[in-house]
Amino acid sequence: MKITVVGLGKIGLPLAVQFASGGHVVYGADIAPSVVAAVSAGIPPFPGEHQLPEKLAEAVASRCLLPTTDTVSAVETSDVVVVVVPLSIDSQGSPVFDAVDSATRDIARGLQPGTLVLYETTLPVGTTRTRLAPMLESSTGLRPGVDFFLAFSPERVYSGRVFADLARYPKLVGGVDEASAQRAIEFYSKVLSFDERPELAERNGVWDMGSPEAAELAKLAETTYRDVNIALANQFALYAQRIGVDIHQVIEACNSQPFSHLHRPGIAVGGHCLPVYSQIYAYGDPHASVTRAAREANAAMPSKIIDLLEHAAGGLDGRRALVLGAAYRGGVKEAAFSGVFATAAALRERRAEPLVHDPLFTPEELTEMGLTAYRQGESVDCVVVQADHSEYRNLSSADIPGVKTVFDGRGVLDPARWADVDLLVLGRIGH
């Protein structure tokens, strides 16, 4: 097959490499010349994706992966088009369709009869049928389900382990009609292989959801569930801290039976997925009171953590506070919707001076994000752990001059290494 993958980001590029590894000709289309140049050289434009460097180099060397900025020409020669461009939200939580609409217009200019178009970008329920199908039809005169095929199939992978997750989880598809669904099932069955999962209700593989709306909702439901679950865990953690109970022990006990799946509490929920997709779900459901409340609770966590730090430190006015971690989670060089911004803002509100360290970002990159970089050896009064980078596990009070109070918002520090300071851990008691 000839396949175009539109969007060579952290999901799109591994997906393109996966398809190319099967011997298919894959056009990797992206609007950023720097991304296309890096991929053409066999170099991932972002770090941290397991097996991507070697797989990408092989795909480029074999000429199975052909990066390009010309989406229209790529689509013109392709049997299948897979769209993995970003969808973000504005300050009100409404989806911003600019990237998806732009990609769709480019696809329309190159779309040929018989082509299968698949959207993997997470979308509000109804978008594939009521927004994207009409855009493609009005621009081309081709009818979805008759002249070309159209389906939604959400990406369900985790940055850092995309290739493993492609095999681990069922591929959900929802066509705008039966013929589109069948074409989508046939395509993914050829380009993906699946692990044996005897615990699943159905055989692991490509699952037909019956409609794009069902597939769109499945993606939003599974991610929104996590945001709501973490909000509940955070509520339990704050309560447990007040009454002197270790919430981690409680969660372990609860999850020892099959009806409880409590997640871990933490200082923030960030990234392109959970804080965004729960709002995309709420955008489409005016009755989503539970998810809205959970999102507000998680968004308030950094400020609540700084309240606890302020109390423990006897005030923050004039203090220097080191925030460990600009990334939204450990091991990933990505600060989208990271809790670092709200944490730094909460410190400034209490007249503290926030400094930020992250092993994955240079001081210049931190400055570009509006943060003040911490220089090794500087003296600070307080420390807040915002991201659970593995590099922080071996830190000790000796590494940070002057520190007296630490709040570990991720449970990553070794208490034995901080015995001479006041160490607080979200949801734990004692030192």
Active site residues: 219, 273
Token pair for residue 256? 């020892």
Contacts 24+ apart (CB under 8 A), 139-145: 139/105, 139/108, 139/109, 140/108, 140/111, 142/111, 142/113, 144/176, 144/177, 144/180, 145/175, 145/176, 145/177, 145/179, 145/180
Residues composing the chain: 431
Query: CA-to-CA distance for 381 and 25, rounded, in angstroms?
Result: 56
Residues sharing a CB contact under 8 Å with residue 224, sequence separation 6 or more, in sequence order: 274, 277, 278, 281, 291
Whether the Cβ atoms of residue 25 and residue 2 lie closer than 8 Å to each other: yes
Query: CA-to-CA distance for 165 and 353, rounded, in angstroms?
Result: 41
What angle in degrees, to the nearest 10, is found between the helix axes of 33-40 and 52-61? 80
Whether the Cβ atoms of residue 138 and residue 25 lie closer than 8 Å to each other: no
Residue 342: strand, helix, or coil: helix
Token pair for residue 360? 């994955």
Establish how many alpha carbons lie within 13 A of residue 16's alpha carbon, considering only the half-sphere containing its beta carbon: 37
Strands (E), 270-351: 320-324
Whether the Cβ atoms of residue 395 and residue 413 lie closer than 8 Å to each other: yes
Query: CA-to-CA distance for 279 and 285, rounded, in angstroms?
Result: 10
